């Protein structure tokens, strides 16, 4: 089958209707069944109105009062002090459960380091005597210290660094999650959370921390190209910044823990593994691009991926699409998890949750986790958030070529990104790439189609250099490319 290439110099091609396979979880509305299980509680006095908490991931739903964070679920118990981890009894041996309990207590005091594998053992056995616990109220519940798990310790460390975000406009509202970057209130989330999926650029934003403190927030900068945004909490201090891990050092099979507010349920923790690395997906942009200066590929139909923010907001089918490189995980990610943390076995950030896959049906219908969730790698998050905080905007690389899927070309012999045209004076042309070349590797990562190439190019900053491996006339060659600047 032949393909129609679109200029790489087109910021973000208008996407065909968003494929039903991948959704950006919408804010969510609260259906009657949920209300019967956990009746809605009164809103926090200072909180802005919150969008509905269950139902259609993308349809606007009636406003649902905010559930105060840190309150005990029906029939459950939420500790009101960090003293949930009992001090081990004097004995010649300390059980594994007690060891992890000590670690939980340490995390509640201020964040325990070394939560995974041998590092956990080394740090825990180094604890002398008792642990003095003086932390503020926590939502980590420990009823039996003998059965505490590593995940409990991870949750205790990470929860203070994850917040719930409520965005409202005159006609709609939604909730998502965010991750604390600095003690004075810089927080990273998704662009689609703060813009209500591109519906507004002036939403009222309220942030609630894991211990129930409520702050107003303003947008510092958004990056629709990689669906990231930074907001700043007003008059905040003493917050707990997340620890960053090197996402480039991950292995398939590594433990993952997702922390956020799925369906508006703050402080929710789910677990899984890294299912795949260097995955690339195409999703709807949360902000319509203004310029025409982006690598572009032919439309491939509806994307199976959707945003996962959770408050009854309709996902727009008219938005253009973006291609992003992601980590795939089977940790449950649902509407409302958008902008939340994906961490490793040490409780360090490896990704910001952004989208989930759906099995079919309309992209405007509510869907939840099917074990296929996606997170933006922490290394990309770090670069972009640093730029947003420093300059209010982020830069992205531009190859300067029109690309399509090589496998769909007539007489195709290899999968990759097929270059149908290069822009005169652009990065590709300057490096010697030509129409007809098939890119099979970018900076050591395999390229199987146009989405892969676009996502990896965008992950780099403007002016970055990259090694491109390509095939021409049956021969393989490589070249160094200095990327141009994407105009947003």
Per-residue pLDDT at 171: 84
Q: Is 338 a catalytic residue?
A: yes
Domain boundaries, the chain: 245-390, 397-485
Q: Under CATH, which number does the domain 397-485 receive?
A: 2.30.42.10
Q: Is 321 a catalytic residue?
A: no
- 295 compared with 147, residue with greater pLDDT: 147
Average pLDDT value for residue range 311-339: 79
- Residue 472 — φ and ψ, nearest 5°? -140, 120
Among residues 247, 338, 378, 441, which one is catalytic? 338
Per-residue pLDDT at 182: 99
pLDDT-above-70 percentage for the chain? 63
Among residues 59, 60, 192, 396, which one is catalytic? 192
Strands 255-260 and 204-208: unpaired
- Angle, in degrees to the nearest 10, between helices 96-110 and 117-125: 80
Give the domain 245-390 fold.
Thrombin, subunit H (2.40.10)
Q: Is 77 a catalytic residue?
A: no
Average pLDDT value for residue range 13-39: 41
Q: Would the pTM of this model clear 0.75, i.e. be above it?
A: no
pLDDT tens per residue, range 162-210? 999 999 998 889 999 999 999 999 999 999 999 999 988 999 999 999 9
What Cα–Cα distance (Å) separates residue 301 from each residue in 129, 292, 298, 418, 440?
A: 62, 21, 9, 18, 23
pLDDT tens per residue, range 60-83? 222 223 333 333 333 333 333 333
Q: Are 263 and 175 in contact, with CB atoms under 8 Å apart?
A: no
Among residues 10, 197, 223, 227, which one is catalytic? 227
Q: Are 63 and 48 in contact, with CB atoms under 8 Å apart?
A: no
280 has pLDDT over 60: yes
392 has pLDDT over 80: yes
pLDDT tens per residue, range 416-465? 999 999 999 999 999 999 999 999 999 999 999 999 999 999 999 999 99
Per-residue pLDDT at 140: 85
d(CA 400, CA 148): 53
């Amino acid at each position: 089958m032949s393909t129609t290439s679109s200029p790489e110099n087109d910021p973000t091609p208008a996407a065909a209707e968003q494929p039903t396979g991948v959704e950006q979880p919408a804010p969510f509305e609260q259906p009657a069944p949920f209300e019967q299980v956990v009746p809605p509680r009164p809103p926090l006095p200072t909180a802005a109105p919150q969008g509905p908490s269950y139902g259609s991931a993308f349809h606007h739903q009636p406003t649902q009062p905010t559930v105060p964070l840190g309150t005990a679920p029906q029939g459950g118990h939420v500790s009101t002090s960090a003293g949930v981890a009992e001090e081990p009894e004097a004995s010649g041996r300390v059980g594994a459960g007690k060891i992890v309990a000590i670690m939980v207590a340490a995390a509640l005091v201020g964040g325990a380091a070394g939560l995974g594998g041998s590092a956990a053992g080394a740090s825990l056995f180094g604890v002398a005597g008792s642990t003095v616990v003086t932390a503020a109220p926590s939502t980590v519940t420990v009823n039996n210290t003998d059965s505490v798990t590593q995940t409990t310790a991870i949750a205790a460390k990470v929860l203070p660094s994850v917040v719930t975000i409520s965005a409202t406009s005159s006609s709609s509202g939604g909730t998502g999650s965010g991750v604390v970057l600095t003690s004075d209130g810089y927080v990273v989330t998704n662009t689609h959370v703060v813009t209500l999926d591109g519906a507004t650029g002036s939403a009222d934003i309220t942030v609630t921390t894991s211990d129930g403190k409520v702050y107003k927030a303003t947008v510092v900068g958004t990056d629709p190209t990689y669906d990231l945004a930074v907001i700043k909490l007003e008059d905040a201090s003493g917050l707990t910044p997340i620890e960053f891990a090197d996402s480039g050092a991950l292995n398939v099979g590594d433990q993952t823990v997702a922390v956020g507010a799925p369906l508006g349920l703050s402080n929710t923790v789910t677990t899984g593994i890294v299912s795949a690395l260097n995955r690339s997906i195409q999703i709807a942009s949360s902000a319509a691009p203004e310029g025409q200066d982006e690598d572009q590929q032919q439309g491939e139909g509806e994307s199976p991926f959707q945003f996962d923010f959770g408050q009854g907001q309709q996902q727009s089918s008219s938005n253009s699409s973006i291609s992003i490189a992601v980590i795939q995980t089977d940790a449950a990610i649902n509407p409302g998890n958008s902008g939340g943390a994906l961490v490793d076995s040490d409780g360090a950030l490896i990704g910001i949750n952004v989208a989930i896959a759906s099995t079919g049906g309309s992209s405007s219908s509510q869907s939840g986790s099917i074990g296929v969730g996606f997170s933006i790698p922490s290394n990309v998050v770090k670069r972009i958030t640093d730029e947003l905080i420093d300059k209010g905007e982020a830069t992205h690389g531009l190859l300067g070529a029109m690309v399509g899927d090589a496998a769909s070309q007539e007489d195709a012999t290899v999968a990759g990104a097929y270059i149908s045209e290069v822009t005169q004076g652009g990065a590709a042309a300057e490096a010697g790439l030509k129409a007809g070349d098939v890119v099979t590797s970018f900076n050591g990562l395999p390229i199987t189609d146009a989405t892969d190439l676009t996502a990896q190019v965008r992950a780099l900053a403007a002016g970055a250099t990259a090694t491109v491996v390509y095939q021409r006339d049956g021969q393989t060659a490589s070249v160094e490319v200095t990327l141009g600047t994407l105009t947003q």
